[in-house]
A and B are shown apart, each in its own frame.
Chain A
Amino acid sequence: MRAIGTVDEIPPGEGRTFAVDGQMIAVFRLRDGSLRATQAVCPHKGGPLADGQIDRKQVLCPLHLNAWDLTTGCSLSGQPDLAVYPVHADDNKIILGDA
């Protein structure tokens, strides 16, 4: 469990990338206030997933609009799955790791 940034760094409904131990993680702030974390780089052609559009279920890569389930990381358009990480908010802190 560790804090990697603050929730207000991420506007509602958007994502931002955070560097953690030499790895890139995309953290998304859903419009219901909850957080999701996935690998930052699209496994298809390396797109920046934090620049993608999201809803309460999925993220769309901005380059080719492939879709993944934000909670499970499962691809919804025939690509390899994403790594997902447990993440939650504690007050304004983004906490990576199991609650």
Chain B
Amino acid sequence: MRQRLVVIGNGMAGARTVEEILARGGDFAITMFGDEPYGNYNRIMLSNVLAGVEDESGIFLNDLSWYADNGITLHTGTRIERIDRFARMVYATDGTATPYDKLIIATGSRAFVPPIPGLHRPGRGYHQGVFAFRTLDDTRAMIRYAKEHERAVVIGGGLLGLEAARGLQNHLPHVTLIHAAGHLMNAQLNEVAGETLRATIERKLGIEVVVSAQTTEILGKHAVTGVRLADGRVIGCDVVVVAAGIRANAEMAAASGLVVERGIVVDDQMRAQDEDDIYAVGECAQHRGETYGLVAPLWDQAKVLADHLTGVNPFAEYHGSQVATKLKVAGVDVASMGLKEPERDDDESLTFTEPGKGVYKNVIIRDGRLVGATMVGDVKKVAFLMQAFDRGLALPEERAELMFDLGGPAGEVKVEDMPDDEQVCNCNGVSKGAICSTVQSGCKTVSGVMDKTRAGKGCGTCKPIVQRIVEWAAGGEVEEDPAASYYVPGIPMPKPELMNAIRLHDLRSVSSVFATLGGEEDAKSKMGLASLLKMMWGGDYVDERDARFINDRVHANIQRDGTFSVVPQMKGGVTTPAQLRRIAEVAEKHEVPMVKLTGGQRIDLLGIPKEKLPEVWADLDMPSGYAYGKSFRTVKTCVGSDFCRFGVGDSTALGIALEERYQGIEGPGKMKLAVTGCPRNCAEAYVKDLGVVAIDGGKWEIYVGGAAGAHIRKGDLLTTVDSADEVMVLTGRFLQYYRENANWLERTYAFVPRIGIDRVREIVVDDKDGIAAGLDAAMEASVAAYRDPWKDRDQPATPGQFRTSLPLTVLPQVPVRA
């Protein structure tokens, strides 16, 4: 018989946990009890309903048909009053009893209403004119009442109180916010930030704010006439909204014998203390001493519980959440995460204030990681800070970059301010509106939206903004995509795990990786796996040609009309009259439609039909320049010391030596290098994956992680060395470290900041981890296994390797330039 799963609570936590269980194929007979008479709705959006920017219908998450479609028995408007832990039954106030095998308590929380005289009328609940702000019914009643009145007082200056105050302004002219603590949002903000926020709220929104104010009485017998404060002041009003915090709904659990402190005490698997089959999630749960009133921790908890209950991962553990909050009040930007003030003597704290503009920014750094940030009045950097905070990223050396955009592209536009028809992805022509409608149609992962719309699938620079739009459109409900951490989408493993598994099972071909680790062959994963296996096994890799992208099958770069481009090697950008003459002859003989100098100091023959590639290579009789692979590409050089009157190092000789040694080495992304003979940087070495700069005194600086493509970044100085030989060794070692550790298609400009330049230096230069010799040996093996692919020409690797795929189309289609 199927196990009976009973869920008490049909709010966001209960319904989300059930969704996660269903998504994992969990096979339970599910019964849910909801106190409210509705399906499940997004409580976070109630402030939008109050503010009139969202329709009630827009906040429902699962309508009743969802429960029916998934075979869930839903009892709405039914309150559970008791759990019998021994008989494994739950009893409802309507007298019914329901047996369970597994029980989830997701009763959430309720508004905390301080005991203020006059709030309640004897026997009638709240005084007419007094509202809590918690449920859809509260919101509806509040709107109805406020429309007919003039002055409102909101008690509570936290997130919810601020949102309530702002929302009420849509329904009546005067709003006063009363807060018991010394400054607004005191749970998230320090005093200066709270004071900055107060000034903005008063000046920009016209809401009067009274802090350090204890409300002692609600005045008025039949109708509310005002509130009295502890200092005797009376503030006249006819509506009172209480938003003074929340309390876990845990009384029923406590009365049933569960351990309850501020919430139901649970372990790392969300299991109630001392119970085998009772779990609690969401705001009613207390984990490691913390109760959460935000939605993000709830998502994390629901996933862990679903992993555990369905057996997908019986040992899944929740370790608590780092919380970040954003105030959803139009025109007032507040974001905060982690600490609001430094805690230890050696915590770094940076603060910027500009009171005239209502701007306050603060970041707190511990051991090089972001542990807290507050942004008031300017949240441009918040997306970056959230990432750094969540993932513990290495921080920029220039700490001010945490707070400001220094140089580089202009500040980020606010997603909500962008018009719907604004083009977000300039490669594939995808508008903000198209992304939003994809999210609304139910696709709530960033990668899912990218797949469906192709946004961010071109050069990739718009990915961060696509992500922000998806997050915004999903209203804080963006689903984390586990595949984001996979090396390739088809094998559910991050790179280190995947490499271990490949070694463990001795997998030497792409098809054997799918068969052993992935289940199904996946076209989108083949190229990345082929690159990884070639790097790991070198000459012992079993090369299946279908795993290669077309460029790597025919050693040329496919063009828009299906023809190819041929770029012969021209080491360091140095050529000879004989080579030029040969190239000219080949171009004439084959009527090459375009001959072009590339950005990497080489000559490109464009418009070569596939079937003519072997003949063109034979006529050229030059090695491949690798202008087509995810591989080592070129070494750009300047004239250097032989001729240049400024040159201080022989950059051309070193560039040629580097290219000779590392030619054709494949990797997770392209590797473009440069060597420049003096800091004037004619070879643009500062913006290469690895750039070498000669400086006076016979020394060389090595920069890594630079880029000047879709993304522009100056490389970080790895080290300065005394000889060209050291440059050769460190280049190989760095490239090998990148090959072994970068994600598929992760260029060095993302890889180096992710690891942190200090850490890269420790490994590559100082050999702190003791792996330098291993890296050098692995690179040496790859170098030794190198073979010029253009020698393939006499003996095709597969039948029809160079057969045209467009036999009837007249080629070329691109216009021929004289």
The chain A residues found within 8 Å of chain B, CB to CB, are 8-17, 19, 22-24, 26, 31, 40-41, 45-56, 58-60, 62-67, 76-78
Q: How far apart sit A31 and B514, CA to CA, in the bound complex (Å)?
A: 12
A49 to chain B, nearest CB (A): 7
Do the beta carbons of B807 and A55 come within 8 Å of each other? no
Do the beta carbons of A51 and B454 come within 8 Å of each other? no
Chain B residues lying within 8 Å of A24, measured Cβ to Cβ, are 806-809
Do the beta carbons of B561 and A11 come within 8 Å of each other? no
Residue of B nearest to A54 (CB): B523
Which single member of B451, B544, B546 contacts A77 (CB below 8 Å)? B451
Q: Mostly helix, strand, loop or mixed at chain B's interface?
A: loop
Do the beta carbons of A40 and B805 come within 8 Å of each other? yes
Any A CB within 8 A of the CB of B803 = yes
B449 to chain A, nearest CB (A): 11
Do the beta carbons of A51 and B562 come within 8 Å of each other? yes
Do the beta carbons of B546 and A14 come within 8 Å of each other? yes
Q: A47-B562, A62-B550 are in contact. Are A19 and B523 (CB under 8 A)?
A: no
Any A CB within 8 A of the CB of B453 = yes
Q: A17-B806, A24-B808, A41-B806 are in contact. Are A46 and B562 (CB under 8 A)?
A: yes
Q: A8-B799, A53-B549, A55-B523 are in contact. Are A17 and B804 (CB under 8 A)?
A: yes
Do the beta carbons of A17 and B807 come within 8 Å of each other? yes
Chain B residues lying within 8 Å of A22, measured Cβ to Cβ, are 808
Which single member of B544, B561, B805 contacts A16 (CB below 8 Å)? B805
Chain B residues lying within 8 Å of A51, measured Cβ to Cβ, are 550, 553, 558, 562, 610, 805
Chain B residues lying within 8 Å of A46, measured Cβ to Cβ, are 560-562, 809, 813
Do the beta carbons of A14 and B806 come within 8 Å of each other? no
Query: Per-position contact with A for B788-816: 1 when CB-CB < 8 Å, else 0?
Result: 00000000001110011111110001000
Interface centre among A31, A51, A52 (most CB of B within 10 A): A51
Do the beta carbons of B805 and A78 come within 8 Å of each other? no
Chain B: residues with Cβ within 8 Å of the partner, total of 37
Chain B residues lying within 8 Å of A13, measured Cβ to Cβ, are 511, 544-547
Do the beta carbons of B521 and A31 come within 8 Å of each other? yes
Any A CB within 8 A of the CB of B247 = no
Any A CB within 8 A of the CB of B432 = no
Q: How far apart sit A64 and B558, CA to CA, in the bound complex (Å)?
A: 11
Do the beta carbons of B520 and A55 come within 8 Å of each other? yes
Q: How far apart sit A89 and B803, CA to CA, in the bound complex (Å)?
A: 21
A74 to chain B, nearest CB (A): 13
Starting from the known contacts A11-B800, A12-B544, 15 additional A-B residue pairs (CB-CB under 8 Å) come to: A9-B800, A13-B511, A13-B545, A16-B800, A17-B805, A24-B807, A31-B521, A41-B809, A45-B560, A53-B523, A55-B522, A55-B523, A55-B526, A56-B521, A66-B454
Chain B residues lying within 8 Å of A54, measured Cβ to Cβ, are 523, 546
Chain A residues lying within 8 Å of B546, measured Cβ to Cβ, are 11-14, 31, 53-54
Chain B residues lying within 8 Å of A23, measured Cβ to Cβ, are 808
A46 to chain B, nearest CB (A): 7
B29 to chain A, nearest CB (A): 34
B810 to chain A, nearest CB (A): 12
Interface centre among B452, B453, B805 (most CB of A within 10 A): B805
Any A CB within 8 A of the CB of B463 = no
Q: How far apart sit A47 and B803, CA to CA, in the bound complex (Å)?
A: 15
Q: How far apart sit A14 and B796, CA to CA, in the bound complex (Å)?
A: 15
Residue of B nearest to A26 (CB): B805
Any A CB within 8 A of the CB of B524 = yes
Residue of A nearest to B798 (CB): A11
Residue of B nearest to A53 (CB): B523
A15 to chain B, nearest CB (A): 8
